[in-house]
Amino acid sequence: MKYRVLGKTGLEVSFVGFGGIPVQRTSQEESKETILKAEELGINFIDTARGYTVSEEYIGYALEGRRDKWIIATKSMSRDRESMIRDIEISLANLKTDYIDLYQLHNVKTDEEYDKVLGEDGAYRALEEYREKGKIGHIGITSHSKDILDKAIESGKFESIMYPYNIVENQAKESFERAKELNIGVIVMKPMAGGAITDGKLALRYIMENENVTCAIPGMANLKEVIENAGVGENIQPLNKEEREKASGIAKELGNEFCRRCGYCAPCPQNIDIPSMFLFQGYKERYKIDKWAEDRYFSQKARAKDCVECGICEERCPYDLPIRKMLKKVRECFDE
């Protein structure tokens, strides 16, 4: 397994990390078997979140007695100090550990959220306090917004960033380069485009060619996925001409109806969070975590069913996506 240093954290992480979303659809024992196989094959970085239902608990169960072999990252959607303190304590208990290597602000979407977490009574303050106590090693941030990503990179507040990057989503290339210049670790989420890319080996090798990327975290739920993904991390080879053509073909095909979550379609006159609609659809259809996706989808005040087909979003979309057509598919997915 190839390893890279996660920026100024100094942590040496496996290029292929373990994404903890899909373990939600397995059992505790199945997830342990999968995680221990990943360890055997050299994977030492595992990422989860407070919002991934039982993921933290399953990971804590799997890593009990072998904590020193893993670099653990988790994250929270909490935006204020008090809520973040509560979440950190829950994470520590769930993961059965007295320290977490990397704790991240999860999916910061807007300038308002960003300013709130960094405010006087914001979530960042709690992370600093727990870092001083030695219960958190390092602080990171995750986002689907390139504008927020760029602000975070320049802020000097974060030791790592996490952002989508794959064959079809490569809008953050320059941001990753800047992060590398500032010695900030770059963690890639959605390396398979949320399951839309079925050739996992090609997807990971495409990412590996970017020297500014520290680690990619494909979600893994079974031994087959672990063995295939870990195998890519053992031998870094550049794509050949045929493989590059295949990657270009995948990008072209997915590009016709694939949301990059750039947010340029906002604001919707009906207050629909359009990128989230497609995100929840992907979690249900491709990740097969139905209840988790449905709970989040139906918690939205405005959903795909509220679209009046005004078309304003399509006029704004830099990728010319047929958003109205895509929202109809979301409705079908959630039986609305």
pLDDT of residue 102: 98
Task: Give the helix/strand (H/E) hosting 36.
Answer: helix 28-40
* pTM, 2 dp: 0.90
Q: What is the rounded distance in angstroms from the CA atom of residue 109 to the CA atom of residue 326?
A: 22
Q: What is the rounded distance in angstroms from the CA atom of residue 203 to the CA atom of residue 266?
A: 29
**CB atoms near residue 80 (< 10 Å):** 15
pLDDT at 260 over 80: yes
Domain boundaries, the chain: 3-239, 274-333
CATH class of 3-239: alpha beta
pLDDT at 237 over 90: no
Q: Which of 165, 260, 151, 267 is nearest to 215 (CA)?
A: 165
Per-residue pLDDT tens over the stretch 168-179: 999 999 999 999
pLDDT at 226 over 90: yes
Least confident range of 62-71, 124-133, 188-197, 298-307: 188-197
Q: Which two tokens stand for residue 266?
A: 């906002």
What number is the average pLDDT over the span 36-48?
98
Instruction: Please identify which residue in the block is written with the tokens 């992060």.
Output: 179
